[in-house]
């Protein structure tokens, strides 16, 4: 996404849901992709929801994992993640919010993520995205409930029961709002469902996207 990783930053330093959604659809246009299924993880879940709500014919199926996109009181974990300032110690600290199994939080993983965060321009762009007070960014990333309830898409919702970053209640709300949805909640699992439950997560997604009837 614009501002993250190796993708360009906006010269004016202004980020937000509208610009990120324009970026995604522009990317699909550049690849001549008329429609596709979308997997949205956390922040990406808010983008996936907004894509489906704004241009429903361009989204086939939705997978939402630990998803932002509905209103909730910001957690200590999310506030810490969005408020990250680069240092190895800070990276080690915020990683503790992500995993239920803390043995996965190796020094090598922390170092890799820290080194990525200090690439030229990365920390500056990230600081522009979610300045305090950060509850407003939860609200800015939300899709109106009426628009979520109008979604016709088959939707797979996945969440770790022990998530300290995005509360599991968000996925319960999404499951309630999206008529054609199924919810899978993993116990002893944090925000990294795709890592802590990798085999089961991948099997769920593959079955959902490719093996079920697509008559809807």
Residue 71 has pLDDT above 60, yes or no: yes
- Number of C-beta neighbours around residue 175 at 10 A: 18
Fold observed for domain 17-211: Rossmann fold (3.40.50)
pTM of this prediction? 0.95
Here the tokens at position 11 are 């010269």
CB–CB of 60/37 below 8 Å?
yes
Burial group, residue 135, by CB count within 10 angstroms (0-12, 13-18, 19+): middle
All structural domains of the chain with their residue ranges: 17-211
Backbone angles phi, psi at 171, to 5 degrees: -70, -35
Active site residues: 42, 163, 191
Residue 127 has pLDDT above 50, yes or no: yes
Overall average pLDDT of the 20-44 stretch: 98
The span from the CA of 213 to the CA of 104, in Å, is 36
For the ranges 49-53, 75-79, 170-174, 211-215, which has the lowest average pLDDT? 211-215
Cα-only R_g, the chain: 17
Backbone angles phi, psi at 186, to 5 degrees: -100, 125
Per-residue pLDDT band for 211 (boundaries 50, 70, 90) equals confident
For residue 177, give the 3-state DSSP assignment: helix
Q: What is the mean pLDDT of the chain?
A: 96
The span from the CA of 154 to the CA of 152, in Å, is 7
Overall average pLDDT of the 37-56 stretch: 98
């Amino acid at each position: 996404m614009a501002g993250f990783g190796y993708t360009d930053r906006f010269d004016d330093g202004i980020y937000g849901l509208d610009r990120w959604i324009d970026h995604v659809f522009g990317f699909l246009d550049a690849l001549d992709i008329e429609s596709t299924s979308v997997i949205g993880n956390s922040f990406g879940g808010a983008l996936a929801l907004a894509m489906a709500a704004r241009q429903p014919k361009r989204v086939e199926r939705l997978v939402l994992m630990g998803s932002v996109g509905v209103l909730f009181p910001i957690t200590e974990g999310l506030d810490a993640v969005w408020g990250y300032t680069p240092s190895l110690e800070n990276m080690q600290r915020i990683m503790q919010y992500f995993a239920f199994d803390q043995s996965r939080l190796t020094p090598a993983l922390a170092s890799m993520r820290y080194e990525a965060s200090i690439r030229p321009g990365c920390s500056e762009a990230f600081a522009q995205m979610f300045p305090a007070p950060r509850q407003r960014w939860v609200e800015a990333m939300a899709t109106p409930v009426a628009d979520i309830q109008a979604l016709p898409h088959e939707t797979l919702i996945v969440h770790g029961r022990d998530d300290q970053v995005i509360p599991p209640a968000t996925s319960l709300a999404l499951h309630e709002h999206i008529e054609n949805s199924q919810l899978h909640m993993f116990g002893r699992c944090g925000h990294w469902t795709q890592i802590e439950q990798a085999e089961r997560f991948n099997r769920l997604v593959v079955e959902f996207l490719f093996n079920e009837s697509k008559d809807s």
